[in-house]
Amino acid sequence: MSAGGAEKTPRRADTRRVLIDAAARVFLERGFARATTKEIAQAAGVAEGTIYRHFDDKYALFHEVFLAVAGDTAQELAHFHERAGRGTVRENLERLLQLLSGMIEHTTSLTASIWADPEMARRFEAYIRERMPMGLQGGPVAVAAAYLRAEQECGRVRDDVDALEAAAVVVSVPFASGMQRALHQHLPGPGDFPAPGAAALEILARGLEPGGGERPGGD
């Protein structure tokens, strides 16, 4: 009995993994709106009803695909505020921009069809806010704001900085860069981020006022 039970768990996990992989392919090829659970089941080589033994609906499946595609990036972002007081603010901002850029690189094509439909985008946003790992429910801006507030408590970010507004600026850098490339029919890819990111990092770390913030090699 116990041996049989031990065999079922890996098989269930394997089926779930197969479904997520198949759904990722179908969503990328067809877009979320046009992809059907029947197509996903066919791609996975299972009966359509199998999907609903693992996921509540197509939104739940998409959410798992998103987390799988995002990989370890989502987990690192969820705990990013714990970096406060360690390393330098410049180093941490650089890592945050890298993480966000990587997230865009791996999820832009996947989520494009959802954000193109306002009603679908609203439903999906509400869905992921309820189910995202702790620390990610508010999205990238909330992640960046939590980190900046933690650094303010450490005395490493100016008290007069509005953490939420500053976070919006930080997050806009990789998103704006990704959108610009997308408009030129070139989605973000490996190696695309560092050049524009270096200039943006300098502005973010030093601040807008001459002599403000940290300088490279400074004490």
Look-up of token digits 């193109």: 116
8 A C-beta contact, residue 79 and residue 135: yes
What confidence score (pLDDT) does residue 161 get? 84
Residues 76-116 have pLDDT tens digits of: 888 999 999 999 888 999 899 888 877 776 677 777 777 77
**Which of these, 145, 173, 174, lies nearest to 84 by C-alpha position?**
145
**Which of these, 167, 171, 161, lies nearest to 212 by C-alpha position?**
161
Residues 80-89 have pLDDT tens digits of: 999 999 998 8
What the block records as the tokens of 194 is 């560092």
What confidence score (pLDDT) does residue 148 get? 92
* Local confidence band at 146 (pLDDT 50, 70, 90 cut-offs): very high
**Which of these, 133, 95, 109, lies nearest to 24 by C-alpha position?**
109
Residues 153-182 have pLDDT tens digits of: 998 888 888 889 989 888 888 777 655 555
Rg (CA), the chain: 20
**Which of these, 174, 194, 17, lies nearest to 107 by C-alpha position?**
174
DSSP state of 212: -
